[in-house]
Amino acid sequence: MAEIYPWQATLWQQLSGRPRHAHAYLLHGPAGIGKRALADNLAALLLCQRPVDGRACGQCKGCQLLVAGTHPDFFLLEPEEPEKPIRVDQVRELVDFVVQTAQLGGRKVVLLEPAEAMNLNSANALLKSLEEPSGDTVLILISHQPSRLLPTIKSRCVQQACPLPSAGQSRAFLAAALPDETPEAIDELLALAGGSPLTALRLHGQGVREQRALVVEGVKKLLKQQIAPGQLAESWSAVPLPLLFDWFCDWALGILRYQLTRDEAGLGLADMRKVLQYLAEKSTQPKVMAIQDWLLEHRQKVLNKANLNRALLLEALLAQWASLPGAG
């Protein structure tokens, strides 16, 4: 059974203790705070034949089938490939499932993640099932970006904001999960993950600190004219584009913030503070704002999986970054 995280305890008590459940829930909040674990536990509870103390028993036929991935009354809808949209044909399969009779005689449960992966046609195909699900059916939608959902989707669900862990809870979670890491490393991971402990754990497994060190070293060489933009772009082939654009967007914002406030606390992690301070002193605000606009525009294209030439994209970024120091 998935873990109920400490910061979810109060919300779980509320959800598990409901005498009657809504026909549709929308669990929303930033990525990496444990929404899927919460949804998995709720689905297990709803399908369990002998719940114990507000949790699925783990022993009944329903629980065993769910763990085996063969429960006939459970439907999981996700993109067929990571970061791809949920197709209308997939939603139609869900609709067919909803109108069927529960094979074990209890509830049917649908879990859909992420809800914002549905395009307009997919979302519209789901509306009737959300409004009038057949039989005792509960739909659990998970969204990391609820602002991207149709108002008609949100209005048909009980919207539940999922709690964020406190800084102390995040540190304690990571310290327990990564006992060999220092407190300084834990704080750095959380900063790189925007404070989300599960994202920090995933990034750690991907070697994010090593990737970050490689990128920071490369940026410093670029500004010292020790490496060309094209050569540096090639050396970053293993670093995910979304991470690169997140970092450069943060750095551009940090430069602007320092130019306006002269507050060193806004320069972010220590590995780039001196570099950003130097660029803030040597760059004009119009140049920094122009590259920030470019970064935000192309970051959105990266997140939307546009067909981009990675090498040319990074070379264009680095050429602009190298030109920041100087007049005009």
The answer, yes or no, to whether residue 326 has pLDDT greater than 80, is no
Determine contact, residues 321/219, Cβ cutoff 8 Å. yes
Surface-to-core class of residue 30, CB atoms within 10 Å of its CB (0-12 exposed, 13-18 middle, 19+ buried): middle
Mean pLDDT, rounded, of the chain: 93
The answer, yes or no, to whether residue 306 has pLDDT greater than 90, is no
pLDDT bracket for residue 84 (50, 70, 90): confident
Q: Find the angle CA(171)-CA(172)-CA(174) to the nearest 5 degrees.
A: 65
**Tens digits of residue pLDDT in 247-267:** 999 999 999 999 999 988 888
- Check residue 49 and report its DSSP letter: S
Whole-angstrom distance, CA of residue 199 vs CA of residue 264:
26
Whole-angstrom distance, CA of residue 153 vs CA of residue 128:
10
Torsion of CA 203, 77, 34, 303, to 10 degrees: 40
**Tens digits of residue pLDDT in 201-251:** 999 999 999 999 999 999 999 999 999 999 999 999 999 999 999 999 999
pLDDT bracket for residue 1 (50, 70, 90): low
- Check residue 117 and report its DSSP letter: G
The answer, yes or no, to whether residue 159 has pLDDT greater than 90, is yes
Q: Please give the domain boundaries of the chain with CATH numbers for all domains.
A: 6-161 (3.40.50.300), 238-322 (no CATH)
Pairing outcome for strands 24-28 and 74-77: unpaired
pTM: 0.82
Q: Which two tokens stand for residue 136?
A: 């005792």
Which residues have CB under 8 Å from 113's CB, separation 6+?
Answer: 36, 39, 77, 78, 141, 142
pLDDT bracket for residue 327 (50, 70, 90): low
Q: According to the model, what pLDDT value does residue 165 have? A: 94
